[in-house]
A and B are shown apart, each in its own frame.
Chain A
Amino acid sequence: MIINHPLLGPRDASEFTYLGDASLLMRPNSDDIDAYHDYIHLRDNPDGLHRELWFHEQGDRSWLVITRNTATHEITKVELARKT
């Protein structure tokens, strides 16, 4: 796969490590144990568009939010996580 890095342009996917569902960005309040349970344990696993976190570990160390179709690997959007 090729990931179109917002700062660096197209980069090979092998430069990145994968984390998973971008819902991890929405960390709930630590006091809300139920919300935290969902945050930690419940993930959608869609057949289709999926917002997910990738880390440019062999690059500029940006965390990216990538919208990717899990069925076709088509990438429709790449954003810097810190700007979302």
Chain B
Amino acid sequence: MKKNMRIKGGMIDRKRPLDFTFNGRKYAGFAGDTLASALLANDIHLVGRSFKYHRPRGIFTANSAEPNALITIGTGAHQNPNSLATTAELYNGMVCHSQNHLGSLGFDLLAFNDFLAPFLGAGFYYKTFMWPASFWEKFYEPMIRRAAGLGALSGLDDPSHYDKGHRHTDVLVIGGGVAGLRAGLLAGRAKLKVIIADEDFHFGGQLLTTQGEIDGKSYKEWLQTTLAELASMDNVTLMPRTTIFGTYDHGIYGALERRRDHLPPEAQPQGVRQIMWKIMAKSAILASGASERPIAFSDNDRPGIMLASASLAYAQRFGVATGKRITLMTNNDSGIDSAIALHAKGVNVDAVIDSRGRAESHHRLPKSVRLIPQGQIVGTSGRKRIKSITLQSGARIPTDCLAVAGGWSPNLQLTCHQRGRPIWDANLAAFLPPNQLPQGMLLAGAVRGDMSTQACLNSATQAATTAIKTLGKTPPKSATPTAENRPYTIKPLWSMKGGKNRQFVDLQNDVTAKDIAQAHQEGYSSVEHLKRYTTLGMATDQGRSSNLIGLALLAEASGKTIPETGTTMFRPPYTPVPIGAFAGRHRGRHFRPTRLTPSHRWAAGRGASFVEAGAWLRAEWYPHKHETHWRQSVDREVIATRAAVGVCDVSTLGKIDIQGRDATQFINFVYANAFAKLPVGKVRYGLMLRDDGFVMDDGTTARMSDTHYIMTTTTANAVSVFRHLEFCRQCLRPDLDVQLISTTDQYAQYAIAGPNARRLLTRIIDDSTAITNDAMPFMGCAEISICGGIPARLFRISFSGELAYELAVARNYGDALIRHLMELGKPDGITPYGVEALGVMRIEKGHPAGNELNGQTSAHHLGLGRMLASNKDYIGKAMASRHELTRTDGVRLVGLIPLDRPNSIGDSIGAGAHILPINSGNSAKDDAGWVSSVAYSPMLGSSIALAFVEAGDQRHGEEMRAYDPLRAQDIRVRLTSPHFFDPEGSRLHG
């Protein structure tokens, strides 16, 4: 039977009814409702099952501290598990499901866990699921995950959009309650740039959920006037539905703005759902308020038991009575005020139990409310909804809602995100923010312990005045408004003894008072240990309603005071932030940029297969129609290049333009080999070391003029080499007159290789005499022009071992140039080749590349030891001479050729294989080196490999084994020179 619990008033729009379903059943609410208020309006308290024991649980709060009411909202790809019913704005057609039960919410098969409770205490997992070890992965873990869980993900791609952004402001006001609004108003009037952020969809905080007056106007009127003035100021930005979730260094705040969570799923893809803001604030006024906390007692977790402030919020803000006969339990004056306010709203408060004796505030209670002073609850009844309360006197009070007021804890999390430790205040029985606050932060309102509206207004005025003055403006003249200023007294009470059953401290993680006592008994008496052992405060609500009770009970068990016990470390985020918001637009292919080569479109048009090389997409081979295996394409490209001419896009190589009077000196300093005497018009291979003596990178550097060089780096190291060169220039040799600029993206560069390379170039170069063998011998370079005046650079360098050039033009000509070359090169037999053929040819020539320059190899290892200059200083010089890097029995680069059936693909050497003697065991002590690069050489008709082998340069001709336990291969190989093909280099000079 549906019941209607609506009462008069509230901030809901009764002219806009909204339909929604909960576990398949249809219900109605109004615009302005949260899911929780709409459920309560239909008298639904039971909304979920607890994490561990699967106990029936009800709505506990009316805000983001909610431990129980975790709901799955939406279906399919829009399914949002673990949404808080207490903050989710109701929209028409909302589809919601309860979580964590097997069977129906009312009859949960996993509730048997509740009867196993005596065995499921603190540290249960650690103690129970230890043996046998093999059971963990296959049995225990899946079982635990099945039983102890929250909502489920849909497993589908999230269709919503997320974004990230930066905001800059003079003053960030965190929290839009009475203190935040007052402070923001003053800062706004002082013409400062102000952002006021609040996690709620209405500004007002406690003003929305309580009744009172400011300057003789009702809270509602004061809010309207204040918000209207704020909205009229261009320098003030109001950000509702925005949680400031973290305080970071130097006045940076993390903010999550939920822009479309309150709209139906079909509206989601049409805009940005959530934005993650990085807010840079010169000053921040923290006005985050305080949260009410409960008191633990026997069976304190039944649906219908909630915080007194929540019960009042539902009545005042949403027009919902949370019960027909409410009982209120308190240890402080705020609880009495809540009872009075509930009664004023026409909600039937049957009895008020005050654990204190007589208090001044009791006189304000209406006569019809029964007061039970010095009352203690020892038990409750009602499995799916509270039915009655038992007091220590034995008296039973029938009730359908128990509102608990255990005092207020300031929401000080953001003050402690930088290792701040809060300070205990015995009068408030609560922790207050530390004295040392994050840079630029000021406090206003309940977060600093102000418990009356008047005190909040006073501290807000003070904080705003300080911020305004600090930022160099004049505070506006304005008398602080007057408001209610009742004293607040509390007599701390954390748990009521005497009951027989469990007292739940952390409702979400099912941590009981007994668990805490037991953890202490077992030696977990540091608060950080207690937290991890019992999982107290480790749930999605981060124990906002439970931590202090847990601490107090630990203090009690250990005979210490609460400040001696201390708190755990506070860390961001304040409330959970979806991963999608952290990712923003960086999803899937957009996770990072994809860099395309100048010939990419052309290559794609030819059906090239692409490979990722860093952020680049490079053509790896260009298959022909009849080719069924990539090896066929690669072999053909190698053979055609070596027989006629091939062209390959090498634009991805790093290019660094180096100019200045001292450019020569600079290059001579950063390269390990001699560079001082490189003539203009010449290119030289350069070996770059790190300062620890290992090889960092290699490349070629061309001298274009006395003061102008062009350096190339490997594709992978383009960024790090440039950074390194800037370090050398600015940090080590600021005396040199030299400038660097990266031109990697500015030039399209093609390798043109093969016996017909020069003939092909003759067809496009404007002055063909510039490339005769005399005008431009091997390792020559020149500025030329092609195609009737297009400036270009030509380098006669060869990675393939062929007569070869690299031709560079401005990037925008890159696409036209490749198409033009392919057209003009038909009579020369032109073939495009990809990075795989490039790799095969360089292995055939024994050139080191990324696999060899892996940061663990020295010049001597690479067989380049003789290149190291002895007559100059250079980066890496001192450490390159170390014994380990130079010893003659250290590894050396060699070639490998398999001895048996070299044509069989199955017998190709595997990269990473270990090199072992023929007659040794397969153990590390026999390990003589490793295989770094492998290829099938169509020129040799054999699998070949480059490897590092101990004293390998002295062992050419020796037989060893390439042992690869991962691929189950053990191949007999012969060590050779790494120069497999044309070792004399006669083709280069043709």
Q: Which residues of B, 874-912, contact A by the 8 Å Cβ criterion?
A: 874, 877-879, 881
- B580: CB under 8 A from chain A? no
Q: Of B726, B730, B874, B878, which is within 8 A of A33 by CB? A: B878
The interface-forming segment of B56-64, B244-252, B604-612, B957-965 is B244-252
- B341: CB under 8 A from chain A? no
Q: Of B726, B874, B879, which is within 8 A of A61 by CB? A: B726
Could you give, for residues 63-84 of chain A, a 1 whenever the CB lies within 8 Å of some chain B CB and a 0 otherwise?
1000000001111000011110
- Measured CB to CB, the nearest residue on chain B to A28 is B878
**Number of A-B residue pairs with CB-CB distance less than 8 Å in the complex they form:** 63
- B129: CB under 8 A from chain A? no
Taking CB atoms, residues of chain B closer than 8 Å to A31 are: 878
Taking CB atoms, residues of chain A closer than 8 Å to B248 are: 1
Is B280 within 8 A of A55, CB to CB?
A: no
- Measured CB to CB, the nearest residue on chain B to A4 is B250
Is A36 within 8 A of B726, CB to CB?
A: no
Is A19 within 8 A of B727, CB to CB?
A: yes
What is the total number of residues of chain A having a CB less than 8 Å from a CB of chain B? 31
CB distance from B281 to the nearest CB of A (A): 11
Complex-state Cα separation, A30 to B439, whole angstroms: 44
- B418: CB under 8 A from chain A? yes
Of the listed residues B248, B729, B878, the one surrounded by the most CB atoms of chain A closer than 10 A to its CB is B878
Taking CB atoms, residues of chain B closer than 8 Å to A55 are: 723, 726-727
Taking CB atoms, residues of chain A closer than 8 Å to B691 are: 27, 39-40
Complex-state Cα separation, A74 to B692, whole angstroms: 32
Is B731 within 8 A of A82, CB to CB?
A: yes
Is B878 within 8 A of A30, CB to CB?
A: yes
Complex-state Cα separation, A73 to B727, whole angstroms: 24
Complex-state Cα separation, A49 to B248, whole angstroms: 19
Is B723 within 8 A of A17, CB to CB?
A: yes
Taking CB atoms, residues of chain B closer than 8 Å to A39 are: 691
Q: Of A1, A19, A25, A82, which is within 8 A of B250 by CB? A: A1
Taking CB atoms, residues of chain B closer than 8 Å to A40 are: 691-692, 879
- Measured CB to CB, the nearest residue on chain A to B252 is A2
Is B731 within 8 A of A62, CB to CB?
A: no
Is B730 within 8 A of A82, CB to CB?
A: yes
Q: Which residues of A, 1-55, contact B by the 8 Å Cβ criterion?
A: 1-2, 12, 17, 19, 24-25, 27-28, 30-33, 36-37, 39-40, 53, 55
CB distance from A64 to the nearest CB of B (A): 9
Is A2 within 8 A of B250, CB to CB?
A: yes
Taking CB atoms, residues of chain A closer than 8 Å to B439 are: 74
Quick one: given A1-B249, A17-B723, A73-B249, are A30 and B877 in contact (CB under 8 Å)? yes
CB distance from B870 to the nearest CB of A (A): 11
- Measured CB to CB, the nearest residue on chain A to B726 is A61
Taking CB atoms, residues of chain A closer than 8 Å to B730 are: 62-63, 80-82
CB distance from A42 to the nearest CB of B (A): 13
Taking CB atoms, residues of chain A closer than 8 Å to B877 are: 30
Is B727 within 8 A of A2, CB to CB?
A: no
- Measured CB to CB, the nearest residue on chain A to B732 is A27
Quick one: given A1-B250, A2-B251, are A25 and B731 in contact (CB under 8 Å)? yes
CB distance from B690 to the nearest CB of A (A): 9
Taking CB atoms, residues of chain B closer than 8 Å to A28 are: 878
CB distance from B86 to the nearest CB of A (A): 35
- B982: CB under 8 A from chain A? no
Taking CB atoms, residues of chain B closer than 8 Å to A17 are: 723
Is A53 within 8 A of B731, CB to CB?
A: yes
Complex-state Cα separation, A68 to B250, whole angstroms: 12
What is the total number of residues of chain B having a CB less than 8 Å from a CB of chain A? 27
Of the listed residues B249, B727, B730, the one surrounded by the most CB atoms of chain A closer than 10 A to its CB is B730
- B734: CB under 8 A from chain A? yes
Taking CB atoms, residues of chain B closer than 8 Å to A74 are: 439
Is A24 within 8 A of B731, CB to CB?
A: yes
Complex-state Cα separation, A27 to B731, whole angstroms: 9
Quick one: given A1-B249, A40-B691, A55-B727, are A72 and B418 in contact (CB under 8 Å)? yes
Is B878 within 8 A of A32, CB to CB?
A: yes
Quick one: given A73-B249, A73-B250, are A82 and B734 in contact (CB under 8 Å)? yes
- B873: CB under 8 A from chain A? yes
Q: Of A25, A63, A80, which is within 8 A of B726 by CB? A: A63
Taking CB atoms, residues of chain B closer than 8 Å to A72 are: 418
Taking CB atoms, residues of chain B closer than 8 Å to A61 are: 726
- Measured CB to CB, the nearest residue on chain A to B723 is A55
Is B723 within 8 A of A57, CB to CB?
A: yes
Taking CB atoms, residues of chain B closer than 8 Å to A57 are: 719, 723
Q: Which residues of B, 162-183, contact A by the 8 Å Cβ criterion?
A: 166
Complex-state Cα separation, A72 to B248, whole angstroms: 11
CB distance from B229 to the nearest CB of A (A): 31
CB distance from A2 to the nearest CB of B (A): 4
Complex-state Cα separation, A83 to B730, whole angstroms: 9
Complex-state Cα separation, A74 to B874, whole angstroms: 36
CB distance from A3 to the nearest CB of B (A): 9
Taking CB atoms, residues of chain B closer than 8 Å to A53 are: 727, 731
Q: Which residues of B, 846-886, contact A by the 8 Å Cβ criterion?
A: 873-874, 877-879, 881
Taking CB atoms, residues of chain B closer than 8 Å to A2 are: 249-252, 280
- Measured CB to CB, the nearest residue on chain A to B248 is A1
CB distance from B518 to the nearest CB of A (A): 36
Of the listed residues B249, B278, B418, the one surrounded by the most CB atoms of chain A closer than 10 A to its CB is B249
Taking CB atoms, residues of chain B closer than 8 Å to A75 are: 250
- Measured CB to CB, the nearest residue on chain B to A25 is B731
Complex-state Cα separation, A63 to B740, whole angstroms: 13
- Measured CB to CB, the nearest residue on chain A to B418 is A72
CB distance from B721 to the nearest CB of A (A): 13
CB distance from A12 to the nearest CB of B (A): 8
Taking CB atoms, residues of chain B closer than 8 Å to A37 are: 879
Taking CB atoms, residues of chain A closer than 8 Å to B731 are: 24-25, 53, 63, 81-82
Is B418 within 8 A of A30, CB to CB?
A: no
Complex-state Cα separation, A30 to B692, whole angstroms: 11
Of the listed residues A12, A63, A75, the one surrounded by the most CB atoms of chain B closer than 10 A to its CB is A63
Beyond A1-B249, A63-B730: 18 further Cβ-contacts under 8 Å?
A1-B250, A1-B252, A2-B250, A2-B251, A2-B252, A12-B280, A24-B731, A27-B732, A31-B878, A33-B881, A36-B878, A40-B691, A40-B692, A53-B727, A57-B723, A63-B726, A73-B249, A81-B730
Pull 28 A–B residue pairs with CB atoms less than 8 Å apart, ordered by A.
A1-B250, A2-B249, A2-B250, A2-B251, A2-B280, A12-B166, A12-B278, A12-B280, A17-B723, A19-B727, A24-B731, A25-B731, A27-B691, A27-B732, A30-B874, A30-B877, A30-B878, A33-B881, A40-B692, A40-B879, A53-B731, A55-B726, A57-B723, A73-B418, A81-B730, A82-B729, A82-B730, A83-B734
Listed from nearest, the 4 A-B pairs whose CB atoms lie closest are A82-B734, A36-B878, A2-B250, A73-B249
